[in-house]
A and B are shown apart, each in its own frame.
Chain A
Amino acid sequence: MHQLNLAEIARGLADKQFSSEELTRSLLARIQQLDPQLNSFITVTEELALAQAKAADARRSAGENAPLLGAPIAHKDLFCTEGVLTSCGSKILSGFKAPYNATVVEKLAAAGTVTLGKLNMDEFAMGSANESSHYGPVKNPWDLTRVPGGSSGGSAAAVAARLLPAATGTDTGGSIRQPAALTNLTGIKPTYGRVSRWGMIAYASSLDQGGPLARTAEDCALMLQAMAGFDAKDSTSVEQPVDDYLAALTQPLKGMRIGLPKEYFGAGLDARIADATLAVVEELKKLGATVKDISLPNMQHAIPAYYVIAPAEASSNLSRFDGVRFGYRCENPANLEDLYKRSRGEGFGAEVKRRIMVGTYALSAGYYDAYYLKAQKIRRLIKNDFVSAFNEVDVILGPTTPNLAWKLGEKSDDPVAAYLEDIYTITANLAGIPGLSMPAGFVDGLPVGVQLLAPYFQEGRLLNVAHQYQQVTDWHTRAPAGF
Chain B
Amino acid sequence: MQWETVIGLEIHAQLSTQSKIFSASAIAFGAEPNTQASLIDLGMPGTLPVLNAEAVRMACKFGLAIDAEIAGKNIFARKNYFYPDLPKGYQTSQMDDPIVGKGFLDITLEDGSQKRIGITRAHLEEDAGKSLHEDFHGMSGIDLNRAGTPLLEIVSEPDIRSAKEAVAYVKAIHALVRYLGICDGNMAEGSLRCDCNVSVRPVGQAEYGTRAEIKNVNSFRFIEKAINHEVQRQIELIEDGGKVVQETRLYDPNKDQTRSMRSKEEANDYRYFPCPDLLPVIIEQSFLDEVRASLPELPVQKRARFEAEFGLSAYDADVLASSRELADYFEAVNSVCGDAKLAANWVMGELSSLLNKDNLEIQQSPVSAAQLGGMIQRIKDNTISGKIAKMVFEALATGEGATADEVIEKKGLKQVTDSGAIEKMLDEVLAANAEQVEQYRASDEAKRGKMFGFFVGQAMRASKGKANPGQVNELLKKKLEG
Contact = CB atoms under 8 A, between A and B. Distances in A.
B78 A316 contact: yes
A104 to B, nearest CB: 10
Interface string B268-302: 01011100111100000000000000000000000
A328 interface: no
Contacts of B78: 316
B379 interface: no
B46 interface: yes
A340 interface: yes
Interface string A187-220: 0000000000111111011100000000000000
Given A235-B51, A319-B82, A199 B46 contact: yes
Contact of B88 (A206, A319, A326): A319
A408 interface: no
A96 B87 CA distance: 16
A152 to B, nearest CB: 16
Interface in A136-164: none
Contacts of A201: 45-46
A80 B89 contact: no
Contact of A365 (B51, B269, B278): B269
Interface residues of B, number: 28
Contacts of B272: 363, 368
A324 B273 CA distance: 24
B308 interface: no
A102 B46 contact: yes
Given A86-B45, A197-B48, A198-B46, A99 B277 contact: no
A20 interface: no
A171 interface: no
B90 to A, nearest CB: 5
A322 B82 contact: yes
A316 B45 contact: no
B151 interface: no
A232 interface: yes
Given A100-B39, A316-B78, A363-B80, A368 B273 contact: yes
Contact of A313 (B44, B48, B276): B276
A93 B45 contact: yes
Label chain B's interface by main secondary structure: loop
A336 interface: yes
Contacts, number: 98
Interface string B80-93: 10101001111000
Given A80-B46, A96-B45, A235 B277 contact: yes
Interface string B39-80: 100111111111100000000000000000000000000101
B142 interface: yes
B277 A205 contact: yes
Contacts of B48: 197-198, 233-236
Given A320-B89, A322-B82, A322-B89, A98 B46 contact: yes
A360 interface: yes
Contact of A205 (B42, B84, B276): B276
Nearest to A92: B45
Interface in B10-29: none
Nearest to A198: B48
A378 to B, nearest CB: 16
A464 B193 CA distance: 59
A196 to B, nearest CB: 9
Interface string A167-197: 0000000000000000000000000000001
Interface residues of A, number: 45
Contact of A232 (B50, B84, B87): B50
A170 to B, nearest CB: 11
Nearest to A88: B45
A329 to B, nearest CB: 12
Interface in A287-343: 312-313, 315-316, 318-322, 324-326, 336, 340
Nearest to A234: B48
A377 B95 CA distance: 19
Nearest to B273: A363
B45 A324 contact: no
Nearest to A324: B84
B44 A324 contact: no
Contacts of A360: 271
A61 to B, nearest CB: 35
A160 to B, nearest CB: 27
Interface string B250-281: 00000000000000000001011100111100
Given A96-B45, A320-B87, A368-B273, 20 more contacts: A78-B46, A98-B44, A100-B44, A197-B46, A198-B47, A198-B48, A199-B46, A202-B45, A205-B276, A233-B50, A235-B278, A236-B48, A236-B277, A316-B89, A316-B90, A319-B88, A319-B89, A319-B90, A321-B45, A325-B42
The list of the 4 closest CB pairs from A to B, nearest first, reads A319-B89, A363-B271, A205-B276, A206-B276
Interface of B: 39, 42-51, 78, 80, 82, 84, 87-90, 142, 269, 271-273, 276-279
27 contacts: A78-B46, A79-B46, A93-B45, A96-B45, A98-B46, A100-B39, A100-B44, A197-B48, A199-B46, A201-B45, A205-B277, A235-B50, A313-B273, A313-B276, A316-B80, A316-B90, A316-B271, A319-B88, A319-B89, A322-B89, A324-B84, A325-B43, A340-B82, A363-B272, A364-B269, A365-B271, A368-B271
